[in-house]
Structure 1
Amino acid sequence: MTRTFSPKPADVQREWIIIDAEDVVLGRLASHAAVLLRGKHKPTFAQHMDMGDHV
């Protein structure tokens, strides 16, 4: 039986991400930034934890 992985606060690796907003539609930029801030781009994403990076 496989067990569900639940990350611990010490497992969270935060990075700084700089977004170039030149010639980008504001709504698409906001959606992309929201994904990065929530951490949904990471394979260890968990809804109950703050996994996001700094943008």
Structure 2
Amino acid sequence: MKTYLPKIDKLNRTIDEQPRKWHVIDADGAVLGKVATTAADILRGKNKPTFTP
């Protein structure tokens, strides 16, 4: 049976307790598919330096 272990960051807070960031995506003149891909990458956390698949 697997046990749930929440990840702890450097300030000893769980990932869920960290403040949320707002991201503004400028879609003016951009292709819809590229904007959607950019938004999906941000939502998945792929823009963070600590991302590991």
**TM-score if structure 2 supplies the norm length?**
0.59
Counterpart in the other structure of 1:43: 49
Coordinate RMSD, CA, aligned: 2.3
Q: Larger RCO: Structure 1 or Structure 2 (Cα < 8 Å, ≥ 6 residues apart)?
A: 1
Change over 3 Å in CA distance of 1:13–1:41 after alignment to 2: farther
Gaps of 5+ in 2: 1-5
List aligned pairs for 1:1-55, cutoff 5 A.
Answer: 7-8=7-8, 10-11=14-15, 12=18, 14-45=20-51
Q: Which has the larger radius of gyration?
A: 2
Aligned length: 41
Cα offsets for 1:28-47 (capped at 9, x unmatched):
00000000011011122255
Structure 1 segments of 4+ aligned residues over 6 angstroms from their partners: none
TM (norm. structure 1) is 0.57
